[in-house]
């Protein structure tokens, strides 16, 4: 019953009570005039008991109870008091005291009842508020992770096998640099604005939530074709890519989105999220800044990934991991300056697995730590046999760089190897810097104190380049292969490469260009002032036992070229 309905019902009760009280009083007066003493005494008791019982019974509605007593008892008591009979006057006085006591009790009970109702109301309001806080993201006002998955599970149960819905996981690209560069106030403003933009796509049957950090989610009821999904994803990406103005600071982010549909992609909420998240991961690896729908081939990739992860967890890495080495050459005299250690894996169950697969799988879990330690130990043992002018290069993953215990173990392996740290070049990616710059910087400083050199790998592909490169104690910058591959047919690409090489020179850093495959590319890079090159033009990765002979052959070629020059 609503408040309006309750008020109308109470008003009707009060009107009825007034009518009944007046009728009862008139009837009592009429009977009193005709009875003898015995009948009058009985009437007094009957009226008194009836009034008192009614007042007590209506104690939860004190206004009505007091109205009833006020309309019946005063006139009746006054009639008794003025009857001229002493006994009747005494009865009237006693009834008046009882009525006063009962009225006081009614008022006290009413106050207690109102206090109880008020306390219950406050308890309900507090429970609702706590429930709202427990299910709401305090920063954006959207539903939080817990509320989202509860709603998603309920929606799937309501839809049943014949229903349909779609889910998207949205990850902001480029948010971390904004947060680090401008501070958390601006970062929080970016999250609130992006949340509002995503919420603008909500309709009936839609729920939007912030899952945590810069990750959002949305689910929509209804049947959606692949074209519908990708069109919606494109609109979301375009909306989130529009410039932001937070606290007079203009900033920009983009978004990668992974979609999955119920029931064709997954039978329940957990698997639906896993598949949407995999589509997001696939998109960030291959189509950053776009929307990707989970497809049947992704299911096969997920199963392969699961098999690879299980095999890696059971693998004897010391026996199954082996290394290949790709040489890096000096642009000046084309002599070998270093070898980059590349991990390869051949297991008893899966056979040879592409490094593009097993390294990505390892990097998504703690397996990467054991894999990195194995690679570093094997690489250091192999490099002991090389000439002292040839250095060793290897990569550290994000997890290795940001884990203090993993970093300490790597430092211990290097320190106990007997290999000169000055001949070690450790490559770190821009992604590691974006993930947590402060931890990455501390890790790099720890490695620098050991005496190793630090290279920034895949330069130009992330968001950290200009924001962070000048803040780190780097020795080299390794420009991503995607730039050199476009040089032949694009003057813009050539200008970008030339500018990057010039930036390295201005910062007194060596420039390494990877992916060099043609002599034309090499001639341009030499003209631009590049220091070191790496690529199939000079050599693909070679087996560990072939390295000594390769070094000897490269030395003879270099000496011959110098004599000709």
Residue pLDDT, tens place only, 165-201: 999 999 998 888 788 778 888 889 999 999 999 998 8
| Span 514-543, pLDDT tens digits | 999 999 999 999 999 999 999 998 999 999
Give all strands (DSSP E) within 502-549, no chain letters. Answer: 510-514, 532-534, 542-543
| Span 294-351, pLDDT tens digits | 998 898 888 888 899 999 999 999 999 999 999 999 998 888 999 999 999 999 989 9
Return the SS3 of 474. Answer: coil
- Summarize the confidence of residues 79-101 as an average pLDDT: 65
Nearest to 547 by CA among 249, 323, 315: 323
Torsion, Cα 551 552 554 559, to 10 degrees, reads 140
SS3 for 217-263 is EEEEECCCCHHHHHHHHHHHHHHHHCCEEECCEEECCEEEEEEEEEC
- Summarize the confidence of residues 224-252 as an average pLDDT: 89
Return the SS3 of 422. Answer: helix
Domain coordinates of the chain in residue numbers? 3-132, 145-294, 318-391+539-565
CA 313 vs. chain centroid, Å, equals: 27
pLDDT of residue 15: 72
> Cβ(114)–Cβ(61) under 8 Å?
no
| Intrachain domains 145-294 and 318-391+539-565 with the same fold | no
* Residues comprising the chain, all counted: 565
pLDDT of residue 554: 82
| Span 148-163, pLDDT tens digits | 999 999 988 887 777 8
Indicate the average pLDDT of the chain. Answer: 84
Torsion, Cα 236 237 238 239, to 10 degrees, reads 50
Strands ordered across the beta sheet of 254-262: 206-212, 215-221, 165-173, 254-262, 291-293
Question: How far apart (Å, rounded) are the C-alpha atoms in residues 335 and 217?
Answer: 53
pLDDT of residue 230: 92
- Output the six-digit token pair for 436: 């947590």
Per-residue confidence band for 387, with pLDDT thresholds at 50, 70 and 90? very high
Question: How far apart (Å, rounded) are the C-alpha atoms in residues 94 and 499?
Answer: 108
**Which one-letter DSSP state was computed for residue 421?**
G
Return the SS3 of 392. Answer: strand
- Cβ atoms within 10 A of the Cβ of 1, count? 7
Report how far apart, in Å, the C-alpha atoms of 188 and of each of 237, 368, 462 are.
Answer: 20, 32, 22
What is the CA angle 55-59-62, rounded to 5?
95
In this structure, CATH architecture of domain 145-294: 2-Layer Sandwich (3.30)
- Domain 318-391+539-565 belongs in CATH node 3.20.20.450: yes
43: pLDDT strictly greater than 70:
no
Per-residue confidence band for 391, with pLDDT thresholds at 50, 70 and 90? very high
Out of 22-36, 363-377, 393-407, 517-531, which region has the weakest mean confidence (pLDDT)? 22-36
Question: How far apart (Å, rounded) are the C-alpha atoms in residues 432 and 439?
Answer: 9
């Amino acid at each position: 019953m609503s408040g309006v309905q309750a008020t109308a019902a109470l008003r009707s009760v009060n009107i009825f009570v007034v009518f009944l009280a007046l009728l009862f009083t008139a009837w009592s007066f009429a009977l009193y005039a005709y009875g003898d003493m015995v009948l009058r005494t009985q009437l007094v008791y009957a009226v008194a008991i009836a009034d008192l019982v009614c007042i007590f019974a209506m104690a939860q509605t004190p206004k009505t109870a007091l109205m009833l007593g006020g309309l019946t008892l005063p006139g009746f008591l006054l009639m008794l008091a003025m009857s001229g009979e002493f006994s009747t006057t005494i009865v009237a006085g006693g009834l008046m005291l009882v009525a006063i006591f009962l009225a006081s009790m009614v008022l006290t009970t009413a106050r207690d009842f109102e206090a109880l109702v008020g306390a219950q109301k406050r308890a309900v309001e507090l429970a609702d508020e706590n429930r709202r806080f427990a299910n709401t993201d305090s920063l954006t006002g959207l539903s939080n992770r817990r509320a989202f998955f509860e709603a998603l599970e309920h929606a799937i149960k309501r839809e049943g096998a014949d229903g349909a819905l779609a889910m998207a996981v949205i990850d902001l690209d480029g948010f971390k640099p904004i947060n680090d560069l401008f501070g958390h106030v601006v970062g929080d403003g970016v999250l609130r604005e992006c949340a509002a933009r995503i919420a603008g796509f909500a309709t009936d049957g839609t729920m939007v939530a912030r899952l945590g950090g810069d990750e959002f989610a949305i689910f929509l009821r209804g049947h959606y074709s692949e074209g519908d999904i990708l069109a919606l994803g494109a609109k979301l990406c375009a909306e989130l890519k529009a410039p932001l103005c937070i606290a007079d600071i203009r900033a920009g982010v983009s978004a990668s989105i992974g979609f999955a549909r119920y029931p064709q992609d997954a039978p329940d909420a957990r698997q639906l999220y896993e598949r949407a998240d995999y589509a997001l991961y696939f998109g960030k690896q291959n189509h950053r800044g776009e929307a990707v729908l989970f497809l049947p081939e992704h299911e096969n990739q997920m199963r392969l990934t699961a098999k690879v992860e299980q095999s890696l967890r059971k693998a004897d890495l010391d026996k199954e991991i082996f290394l290949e080495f790709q040489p890096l050459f000096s642009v000046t005299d084309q002599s070998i300056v270093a070898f980059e250690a590349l991990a390869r894996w051949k297991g008893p169950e899966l056979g040879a697995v592409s490094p593009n697969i097993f390294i990505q799988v390892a990097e998504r879990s703690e397996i990467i730590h054991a894999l990195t330690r194995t690679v570093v130990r094997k690489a250091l043992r192999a490099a002991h046999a090389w000439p002292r002018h040839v250095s060793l290069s290897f990569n550290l993953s994000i997890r290795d760089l940001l884990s203090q215990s993993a970093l300490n173990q790597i430092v211990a392996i290097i320190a106990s190897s007997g290999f000169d740290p000055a001949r070690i070049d450790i490559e770190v990616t821009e992604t590691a810097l974006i993930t947590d710059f402060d931890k990455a910087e501390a890790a790099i400083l720890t490695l620098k104190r050991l005496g190793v050199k630090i290279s920034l790998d895949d330069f130009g592909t992330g968001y950290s380049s200009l924001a962070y490169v000048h803040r780190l104690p780097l020795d080299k910058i390794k420009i991503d292969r995607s730039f050199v591959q476009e040089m032949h047919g694009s003057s813009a690409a050539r200008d970008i490469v030339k500018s990057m090489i010039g930036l390295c020179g201005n910062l007194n850093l060596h420039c390494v260009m990877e992916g060099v495959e043609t002599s034309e590319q090499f001639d341009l890079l030499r003209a631009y002032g590049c220091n070191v090159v790496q690529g199939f033009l000079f050599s693909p990765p070679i087996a560990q036992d072939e390295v000594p002979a390769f070094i000897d052959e490269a030395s003879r070629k270099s000496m011959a070229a110098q004599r000709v020059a």
